[in-house]
Amino acid sequence: MQTALELFANEGYYPTSISRIAQKAKISKGLIYNYFESKEELILSILANGTRQLTEHLDPDHDGSLTDDEFELFINENFRILQENLDYWKLYFSTMMQPAVFKLVKDKFPHFLPPLKVVEGYFHEKGFENPGLEAALLDSMLDGIFLNFIMDPEGFPLEKMKQIIIERYK
């Protein structure tokens, strides 16, 4: 999966064949098919795995609401995961921006997205006038920050952006 992630992120989904993945991973093509029925199933597994890493830090006590500390943990973990796994984020954004690839995953992708209702509830408790809109704004800000960091990891002020989000919402 790691080799497929690297190839999909850096060379594209369609140009990357199962044969190329197997060759680079130094395994047989048949071994890949023991675990995944198709290239589509492989990319879906990669996307699900990456998103699962993000959402496991949202509402860690599973009580349906966020405390300030849980919100801060969620933001900190998202930024840490971004820095540690740029290839996942390259793949995520390239999947969203390529209609042919997005079409493959769009029906299954909403199941991978963080449960914004929990974030919306947090904003409701904080007294925001329109918590749903605020949750969508946060999601959009994170996408923009992450995309800018991917394009310029050395020059983008990631830590400052993270602190602004935490201060704005905590």
User: What tens digit of pLDDT does each residue of 22-68 get?
Assistant: 999 999 999 999 999 999 999 989 988 887 887 777 888 888 889 99
Reported confidence tier of residue 112, pLDDT bands at 50, 70, 90: very low
Distance of alpha carbon 132 from alpha carbon 129, whole angstroms: 9
* Spacing of C-alpha 66 from chain mean position: 20
Supply the pTM of this predicted model. Answer: 0.82
Say which residues have a Cβ less than 8 Å from residue 33's Cβ, sequence separation at least 6.
18
Share of the chain above pLDDT 90, in %: 69
What average pLDDT does the structure give for the chain? 90
Is pLDDT of 159 > 90?
yes
What is the mean predicted confidence (pLDDT) over 75-90?
93
> Taking each helix axis from N to C terminus, what angle separates 68-84 and 39-55, rounded to the nearest 10 degrees?
140
